[in-house]
Amino acid sequence: MTSPSLSSQLASLRGDHEAFGLRVELIAEYLAISGARANVRVYALTRRNDLPTLAEFVDYLKWQLVYFCLPTSERKRIENLVKADPANGYRHMVAAFEKARGLFIRAEKRLSRSGECGELILRVLIEWVLRAPQVVCKMLLKTNSNMPVHGTDGIHLGYDPLNNKLIVYWGESKVHRTLPSALSAAEESMRAYATNADQRKREVQILIDNLDFGPDSEALENFVVKYFNPYEAEHLARYECLTALLAFDEASYEELRLSGDLGAFKAAVRNRADMVISSVEKMTTDKVLDEFTFQFFLLPFASVESLRAQFMSVLEWQ
């Protein structure tokens, strides 16, 4: 299998997230920090009448549950059921959503969390911005009592055509009331991953064991596995990227509502990136993290607690 084929195959697995551009706005991006080691992008919710469109944002996430919680093969099976049995198509689709919803809620309860939708947001951003599809559905693992609950929040694969290499994105989602807290938690998780050989082996094994590109994709999956086999040439054509969503409270949303000063709002949000850029620059000089590249997404909310509450509401989580 040639690399261009791998690139196109991965592209075919990405979700269509163009509508997500109606939900968030890019405020600033800082690319090629410390050479080509890191990128930081700052987003904000789109606004109507100077108010963030949180309800629409949460509704978008709700309909991502099926893609986040169900593996590709199962989604393809459901799509085939709908085509073969159009009279009951809605029943099959509703059943798929209810299964995804149930898996998500059970996983949240097992992890003692309530309505944590950061992993959903991270998945969309990695697929939309970095054009790297989710290739392992971890939700099934998180509802398995025999599996450890710790580990990365997402596993995505991308392709670097300039260097002809596979990119493995290990995702971390941090939804905190303050940006410093979210950033500190992300750094801690990244360093823990980099220094814990057992965890890294476990995550790679999870990827290998649960890689799912859909029906009739065994040849592609076997080819991708070569990138993780030290006895294959492809093993040298892979690099890993630590990726994080930092979601946090932003007081400037309220100031925008009161003043209508969009310029001041954007300036305030852009300023939030300064501490992140400073931390990322230090991370790129840390020998523990020397083999990784980094992607950071900053996404402020008027209230992350309101985000959680609205997400629980749309899921009808009792």
The residue whose two tokens read 């985000």 is 307
User: What token pair was written down for 97?
Assistant: 């959503």
Helix pair angle (179-195, 273-283), 10° resolution: 20
Q: Is 166 part of a structural domain of the chain?
A: yes
User: What token pair was written down for 220?
Assistant: 């592609």
Per-residue pLDDT tens digits for 27-58? 999 999 988 899 999 999 999 988 899 999 99
Q: Is 152 part of a structural domain of the chain?
A: yes
pLDDT at 149 over 60: no
Q: Is 261 part of a structural domain of the chain?
A: yes
pLDDT at 89 over 90: no
Torsion of CA 199, 201, 202, 208, to 10 degrees: 150
User: What token pair was written down for 282?
Assistant: 């230090």
Question: What phi, psi does 166 have (nearest 5°)?
Answer: -85, 140
In the three-class reduction of DSSP (H, G, I as helix; E, B as strand; rest coil), residue 59 is classed as helix
Burial of 48 (0-12, 13-18, 19+ CB in 10 A): exposed
pLDDT of 188: 95
Q: Count the domains in the chain.
A: 1
Q: Is 83 part of a structural domain of the chain?
A: no
The residue whose two tokens read 């040439």 is 233
CB 232 within 8 A of CB 209: no
How far is it, in rounded angstroms, from Cα 204 to Cα 168? 10
Residue 296 β-bridge partners: 40, 244
Q: Is 145 part of a structural domain of the chain?
A: yes
CB 167 within 8 A of CB 155: no
Task: Give the domain extent around 46.
Answer: 3-62+118-314
Assign 203 a pLDDT band (cuts: 50, 70, 90). very high
pLDDT of 150: 60
Per-residue pLDDT tens digits for 208-261? 999 988 888 888 899 999 999 999 999 999 999 999 999 999 999 988 888 889
Question: What phi, psi does 173 have (nearest 5°)?
Answer: -110, 125
Torsion of CA 16, 21, 23, 24, to 10 degrees: 130
Q: Are strands 292-301 and 38-45 parallel, antiparallel or unpaired?
A: parallel
pTM: 0.93
The residue whose two tokens read 């054509």 is 237
Q: Is 104 part of a structural domain of the chain?
A: no
12: region left, alpha or beta (phi > 0 left; psi from -120 to 50 alpha): alpha
Q: Is 251 part of a structural domain of the chain?
A: yes
pLDDT of 112: 72
CB 139 within 8 A of CB 68: yes
How far is it, in rounded angstroms, from Cα 193 to Cα 195? 6
Q: Is 9 part of a structural domain of the chain?
A: yes
